[in-house]
Amino acid sequence: MRIRIAHETTYSYAVPARSVIQTLRLTPRNYDGQHVSNWRIDVDQDCRLDAHEDAFGNITHTFSCTGPVQTLTVRVDGLVETSDTAGVVRGAIERFPPGLYLRGTDLTTADGDIRAYAEARHHPADRLSTLHALLDDLARDITFDKDPTHSATTAAEAFALKRGVCQDFAHIFIAAARHLNIPARYVGGYFLHDDGTVDQEAGHAWAEAHVEGLGWVGFDPANGLCPTEQHIRIACGLDYLNAAPIRGSRHGGEGEFLTVKVMVDQASRQVQVQ
């Protein structure tokens, strides 16, 4: 499937910022389930994008610009060819052995409630069944709701609310899996909706867990399914903070206002022929 992505993030400041610096994780890499045909990032300021590969194998771009900055737009346009791998992630850049992904983080610490929830779904001899039980039940038990949580909400906080966005679903899944000694990680990316909805308010996030014999397998608890050819994988890490599309800092720039426009659409055959 050919998928076109356009992702525009605009910051505007009531008081112009004196300087802005950001690190972007907005560039996908190839793996068996996806091939990046075309990808570009534009920042509408006078700056240089310095590319690095981070410790998890994600591509980052860091830029800084000197103000006064009234508005700042980061725009991503790309075309990705995907195929369904039943959620199995092969051919991706792996910089760590799975054991690293048992490491706890502040955002993915399992509290007593998450531990009990995980233990109740534990099939000790069958890791895949355990993970599918977590996937199915979290999709049922947690309500998608973008109001009560924010980017710094922990797994435990979201689990107590039984509400959250895809990031919260992923953090809870990761916390539960790690508690059962299953390596698990966070993945940020995009998702093409089935229902023809093209315009979205944000990117997508899910989890991957390590299963002997299969390797890394994706689990998307917000949608209650394993990733398909509708998922575009951008960055991974221990939690959201390692894979966040944009992390930034600024001097001045009080009264920041953020708008995000994400468009994920199936590329037309005509585009393909061109």
Partner 1 sequence: MAGAAPIFDEMNLADGAVRPAYETLARWLKTIPTDLLATRSREAEALFRRIGITFAVYGDAASTERLIPFDVIPRVLTNDEWVRLSKGLTQRTRAINAFLGDVYSKREILRAGLVPEDLVYRNPAFRPEMNQQPVPHGIYVMIAGIDIVRVDADTFYVLEDNARTPSGVSYMLENREVMIRLFPELFSQHRVAPVENYTDDLLATMKSVAPRSASSDPTCVLLTPGLFNSAYYEHTFLADKLGVELVEGRDLFVKADVVYMRTTEGPKRVDVIYRRLDDDFLDPLVFRPDSALGVPGIMSAYHAGNVTLANAVGTGVADDKAVYSYMPEIVKFYLGEEPILKNVPTWRCREADELKYVLDNLPELVVKEVHGSGGYGMLIGPKATAAEIELFRHKLAKDPSNFIAQPTLALSTCPTLVEEGVAPRHVDLRPFVLTGRDKVRIVPGGLTRVALKEGSLVVNSSQGGGTKDTWVLDS
**Binding footprint of partner 1 on the chain (CB under 8 A):** 19, 21-23, 48, 50, 52, 54-56, 60, 62, 64, 66, 95-97, 99-100, 102-104, 152, 238, 241-242, 247-249
Q: Least CB distance from residue 23 to partner 1, whole Å? A: 5
Q: Least CB distance from residue 221 to partner 1, whole Å? A: 24
DSSP 49: P
Q: Which distant-in-sequence residues (6+ apart) come within 8 Å of 176 by Cβ?
A: 110, 114, 115, 117, 118, 121, 134, 138
Q: Least CB distance from residue 205 to partner 1, whole Å? A: 17
Complex with partner 1: residue 87 or 248, whichever CB lies closer: 248
Pairing of strands 163-164, 143-144: parallel
Complex with partner 1: residue 189 or 237, whichever CB lies closer: 237
Structure tokens belonging to residue 259:
């708008």
Beta-sheet strands, E only, within 44-139? 50-53, 59-82, 88-89
Q: Least CB distance from residue 245 to partner 1, whole Å? A: 13
Q: Least CB distance from residue 239 to partner 1, whole Å? A: 11
Neighbours of 190 (CB within 10 A): 25
Q: How far apart are CA 214 and CA 32, in angstroms?
A: 13
Complex with partner 1: residue 202 or 225, whichever CB lies closer: 202
Complex with partner 1: residue 63 or 191, whichever CB lies closer: 63
Complex with partner 1: residue 127 or 231, whichever CB lies closer: 127
Structure tokens belonging to residue 216:
């890394």
